[in-house]
Structure 1
Amino acid sequence: MTRSSSGSPPEKPDLGKLRFTAVTRKTRADFEGLFEAPGGPKYCWCMAWRPLPGRREQVQHAELKRAMMALVEAGTPVGILAELDGKTVGWCSVAPRQTYRKLSPQQDDGETGIWSIVCFYVPRALRGSGLAVALLDAAIDHAFAKGARTIEAYPVDEASPSYRFMGFRDMFDARGFHEIGMAGSRRHVMRLER
């Protein structure tokens, strides 16, 4: 985003021009570019909620990237990207719940047709622009188009000191998600059915 010469804040992006695409072998380079850009989440590669071999605290960043790229190469759904004016500008992790590790204590692994939304990444310059909400809407559409019967999410309240990358409860409330419990002391377990 450009700043005007007067030092005023950047212009709001035209979110009507956003395009959303699934992360696949074909879009892998766009995904890597977003995560490896300055400020990008290359420290986690959105593997916090995905199964990893060994102890999590001992896994290096390069190993996290390799694990994520192996999922992409295998054709495992991992999430969607937002593109604006030819540039990848955001990410949402949305995938079948069984591709993640256990996300809440009350999780019933016998349930089928559930997709989970576990993470958003919006670059600092675009925060507050509505991009996270646009990503949520696109993630909902994507999951239902891919056969989800239920979408589950784990957002926090805006005042939460942690897990903010999982989204805020209010934006899920506004889209018709209802709370079914808690995962820990901060994360609300919310669902949307169609």
Structure 2
Amino acid sequence: MRVLLLKYVLLVGLGIAADVPGNWTAVQRDIIIQLDLENTSLEIKTDSTLGSGDIVDIFLYTSQRRDGDYNVPRVAINFTSTPRYYFHNCGSFWTDFPTNLPAEVDKIWRITVDKTAGIRVKIHCNGVEVLNVLLSDSTCRGYRGYWKKYWSRNFKKIYFRSSDTASDYYRSGQPGN
């Protein structure tokens, strides 16, 4: 067990992705990660407390991501005393979750981009749906038509920003949307 733990600590310390039990991978920031959000969801483990100000902060890229390309969809969750979410290129301000989050500190978030009927973003927390938003000109206020250009893309890569202080581990989630 000690050897396994030491190996894990060394790999993470060197910035090398390390698998952890349950097919979880330790989050590395500021690197491109292959993850097909067209066919799977993204699951993220956090242990941040409400009021901490920690943030989950993820860019969604196509397979054609270029360095310096930051005008892309982004999903962010802010652990303020009232938790909030933000979708880049679909609104310019933080929005309170419409439901209460599960009370546990350890959380598994599942983010799904469902394009079967429009473009819908779903977020589950510990198995409970806490957000289900159909993107449209009315939900993406101030981005009329503009939002669709970015959110209709096929997302094949993710990128945890350096501003992400909450995400500990990630993995591909459930197949399909």
- With the shorter chain as reference, the TM-score category is under 0.3
Using the size of structure 2 for normalisation, the TM-score is 0.28
Higher-strand-fraction structure: 2
Query: Which of structures 1 and 2 has the larger relative contact order (alpha carbons within 8 angstroms, sep 6+)?
Result: 2
